[in-house]
């Protein structure tokens, strides 16, 4: 018997999607594959809210999409601007450095979001326009912090700077509001195993016209992740190599499920569930790693444990005794936070079970938590804010 998992990716896989991806081999040079690929690429465009540009899908994960974004549009020695405020923003910076880019890093402190004002300052100071791209981790999964991408776009525009804007939306896209065109995002990246509720295996990328143009002059070596080759093959109805057909079929079905619910409703559901978790955290007398309420993520909550307690022990005990998976603290916040992932296939009632499990674990380990307090606070929130099922019936 399995419990839902509460890690911020991979997320719980709906039965429908498990059945959809379980297919016999398909000849990927046959029309059957073409009929699957084009709707998936178009569907991703709708989820990203983009009209112009292209979407591409690689057999990889979010990390592969980071690499694809960098190698296709930049040249060794190019400068990029990024803030470091968690494990994922840190790892993207590291990946850039290993590709020979010069990363201008703004250290922001774990628990904070991307500082649009500091970015504007850095861009204004860059009179020679050395900065070619600005990187934003939309949702820092390690700390549960959401950054304001539109504020970064305004900062770039205010500085009248031509830098491109790249956004890691791995743990936000398809769960939280994302607007490629409106925010002027040039490259958006995600993976299949978070908001899309599939197993890991697809690196999903949205490209603006400007990002596609940048591939013409970029000299970083790339082969497997070549955007131009992929776009050309896709136009001819195929793939440059063997595509992960089952997952692409699953992506179509996932997008159908998201659109049947309505993307707006998907985002409100994530917000409501996250608010319930935040009510529970407050009732426990604990604090989130995300300092500002406006930056608190709707897909993952990183909860600070009181000093003297080990957050890793909470995660280990939850797995050992109750068979429930929570996320550990990564990097600078290792041992200090545990994370409840609440994205993808998640309902109010599923979230309540995660909150209840966390309470049992903390009580077992002697934390000053009274079991039931968090659950009650979340129940109250869900009872008063959930109208979705009622209105559906009407
Ligand atoms: C999960 C995640 C990644 C890494 O994705 P993989 O699919 O594990 O390679 C990158 N960025 C963020 C924000 C993530 O949440």
Q: Determine the atom of ligand 1 nearest the C-alpha atom of 64.
A: 9
31 and 20 together in one domain: yes
Report CA(92)–ligand 1 centroid distance (Å): 10
Low-confidence ranges of the chain (pLDDT < 50): 390-394
Residue 10 inside a domain? The answer is no
Q: Look up the domain containing 313 and give its range.
A: 263-393
Q: Determine the atom of ligand 1 nearest the C-alpha atom of 66.
A: 10
Q: Determine the atom of ligand 1 nearest the C-alpha atom of 140.
A: 13
Number of compact structural domains in the chain? 2
146 and 272 together in one domain: no
Report CA(185)–ligand 1 centroid distance (Å): 18
326 and 224 together in one domain: no
CATH number, domain containing residue 178: 3.40.640.10
Report CA(170)–ligand 1 centroid distance (Å): 5
| CA-proximal residue: ligand 1, atom 5 (nearest) | 62
110 and 26 together in one domain: yes
Pocket test for ligand 1, best of 64, 168, 201, 205 (most atoms within 8 A of CB): 168
255 and 278 together in one domain: no
Residue 4 inside a domain? The answer is no
Report CA(158)–ligand 1 centroid distance (Å): 30
139 and 26 together in one domain: yes
Report CA(112)–ligand 1 centroid distance (Å): 18
Report CA(62)–ligand 1 centroid distance (Å): 5
| CA-proximal residue: ligand 1, atom 2 (nearest) | 170
Residue 252 inside a domain? The answer is yes
Residue 365 inside a domain? The answer is yes
Residue 8 inside a domain? The answer is no
pTM of the model: 0.97
| CA-proximal residue: ligand 1, atom 4 (nearest) | 62
68 and 183 together in one domain: yes
Final residue of a structural domain among 213, 239, 260: 260
The confidence score (pLDDT) of residue 45 equals 98
238 and 272 together in one domain: no
301 and 317 together in one domain: yes
CATH number, domain containing residue 278: 3.90.1150.10
Pocket test for ligand 1, best of 8, 59, 61 (most atoms within 8 A of CB): 61
Final residue of a structural domain among 207, 232, 260: 260
pLDDT in tens, 10-54: 999 999 999 999 999 999 999 889 899 999 999 999 999 999 999
If DSSP states are collapsed to H, E and C, what string results for the chain?
CCCCCECCCCCCCCHHHHHHHCCCCCCCCCHHHHHHHHHHHHHHHHHHCCCCCEEEEEECCHHHHHHHHHHHHCCCCCEEEEEECCHHHHHHHHHHHHCCCEEEEEECCECECCCHHHHHHHHHHCCCCCEEEEEEECEECCCCEECCHHHHHHHHHHCCCCCEEEEECCCCCCCCCCCCCCCCCCEEEEECCCCCCCCCCEEEEEECHHHHHHCCCCCCCCCCCCHHHHHHHHHCCCCCCCCCHHHHHHHHHHHHHHHHHCHHHHHHHHHHHHHHHHHHHHHCCCEECCCCHHHECCCEEEEECCCCCCHHHHHHHHHHHHCCCEECCCHHHCCCEEEEECCCCCCHHHHHHHHHHHHHHHHHCCCCCCCCHHHHHHHHHHHHHCCHHHHHHC
Report CA(90)–ligand 1 centroid distance (Å): 12
Report CA(137)–ligand 1 centroid distance (Å): 10
The confidence score (pLDDT) of residue 122 equals 98
Report CA(102)–ligand 1 centroid distance (Å): 22
250 and 384 together in one domain: no
Pocket test for ligand 1, best of 171, 175, 202, 344 (most atoms within 8 A of CB): 171
Report CA(147)–ligand 1 centroid distance (Å): 16
Residue 9 inside a domain? The answer is no
88 and 226 together in one domain: yes
The confidence score (pLDDT) of residue 393 equals 39
- Residues lining ligand 1, Cβ inside 6 A: 9, 61-63, 88, 137, 139, 141, 168, 170-171, 191, 200
51 and 182 together in one domain: yes
Report CA(383)–ligand 1 centroid distance (Å): 33
The confidence score (pLDDT) of residue 389 equals 52
Pocket test for ligand 1, best of 82, 135, 141, 149 (most atoms within 8 A of CB): 141
Final residue of a structural domain among 230, 260, 290: 260
């Amino acid at each position: 018997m399995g419990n839902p998992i509460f890690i911020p990716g991979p997320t719980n896989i709906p039965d429908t999607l498990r059945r959809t991806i379980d297919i016999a081999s398909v000849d990927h040079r046959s029309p059957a594959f073409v009929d699957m690929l084009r709707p998936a690429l178009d569907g991703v465009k709708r989820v990203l809210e983009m009209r112009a540009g292209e979407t591409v899908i690689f057999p990889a994960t979010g990390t592969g999409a980071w690499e694809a974004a960098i190698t296709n549009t930049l040249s060794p020695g190019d400068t990029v601007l990024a803030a470091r405020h968690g494990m994922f923003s840190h790892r993207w910076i590291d990946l850039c450095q290993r590709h020979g880019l010069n990363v201008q890093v703004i250290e922001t402190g774990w628990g904070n979001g991307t500082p649009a004002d500091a970015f504007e300052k850095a861009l204004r100071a860059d009179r020679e326009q050395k900065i070619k791209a600005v990187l934003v981790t939309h949702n820092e999964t390690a700390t549960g912090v959401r950054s304001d991408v539109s504020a970064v776009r305004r900062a770039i525009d205010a500085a009248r700077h031509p830098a491109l804007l790249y956004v890691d939306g791995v743990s936000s896209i398809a769960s939280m509001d994302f607007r490629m065109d409106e925010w002027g995002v040039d490259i958006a990246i995600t993976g299949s195993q978070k908001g899309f509720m599939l197993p890991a295996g697809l690196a999903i990328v949205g490209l603006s016209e400007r990002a596609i143009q940048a591939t013409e002059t970029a000299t970083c070596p790339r082969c497997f992740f070549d955007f131009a080759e992929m776009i050309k093959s896709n136009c001819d109805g195929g793939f440059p190599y063997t595509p992960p057909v089952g997952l692409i079929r699953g992506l179509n079905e996932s997008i159908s499920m998201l659109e049947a619910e309505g993307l707006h409703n998907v985002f409100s559901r994530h917000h409501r569930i996250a608010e319930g978790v935040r009510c529970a955290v407050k009732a426990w007398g604990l604090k989130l790693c995300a300092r500002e309420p406006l930056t608190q993520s709707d897909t993952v909550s990183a909860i600070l444990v009181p000093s003297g307690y080990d957050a890793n022990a909470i995660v280990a005990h939850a797995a050992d005794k109750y068979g429930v998976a929570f996320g550990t603290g990564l990097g600078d916040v290792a041992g200090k936070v545990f994370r409840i992932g609440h994205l993808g296939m998640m309902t109010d009632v599923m979230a309540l079970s995660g909150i209840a499990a966390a309470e049992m674990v903390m009580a077992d380990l002697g934390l000053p938590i009274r079991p039931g307090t968090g659950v009650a606070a979340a129940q109250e929130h869900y009872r008063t804010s959930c109208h979705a099922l009622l209105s559906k019936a009407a």
